[in-house]
Amino acid sequence: AQSVTQPDIHITVSEGASLELRCNYSYGATPYLFWYVQSPGQGLQLLLKYFSGDTLVQGIKGFEAEFKRSQSSFNLRKPSVHWSDAAEYFCAVGAFSGTYKYIFGTGTRLKVLA
């Protein structure tokens, strides 16, 4: 069965520090992978997506993610975090198994210390 795991429920980093949010997926075929950000009271905003090709994907707001098939991972990174990055981050996989389905992880809440 398809699934997405985000092992870190909360992460706290200092402003200016680097960030890595982990995501592992389970899916039999080539996955379509996404990272979304959700700020309080807001809907989800797409940061980046991976379908094929270069395994390092660049997104908005200075984020990037690397697809590693051997590790079934799609970790999100940012070299220098800004206070405005404090939010909840969701990894998702798009799957087709007779019907279209999108599966989200449980999210990682990021806190940024000034």
Positions touching other proteins (CB under 8 A) are 4, 6, 32, 36, 41-46, 49, 51, 90, 92, 94-96, 99-107
Q: How far is the CB of 112 from other proteins (least distance, A)?
A: 20
DSSP SS3 for 106:
coil
Count CA atoms within 13 Å of residue 102 on its CB side. 9
The structure tokens 């389905």 sit at 101
Of 68 and 101, which has the nearer Cβ to other proteins? Answer: 101
Q: Are 22 and 33 in contact (CB under 8 A)?
A: no
Q: How far is the CB of 96 from other proteins (least distance, A)?
A: 6
Of 12 and 42, which has the nearer Cβ to other proteins? Answer: 42
Of 10 and 18, which has the nearer Cβ to other proteins? Answer: 10
DSSP SS3 for 1:
coil
Of 9 and 114, which has the nearer Cβ to other proteins? Answer: 9
- Nearest CA to 105 among 37, 23, 27? 23
Q: How far is the CB of 29 from other proteins (least distance, A)?
A: 11
Q: How far is the CB of 80 from other proteins (least distance, A)?
A: 26
Alpha-carbon distance of 103 to 19, in angstroms, equals 23
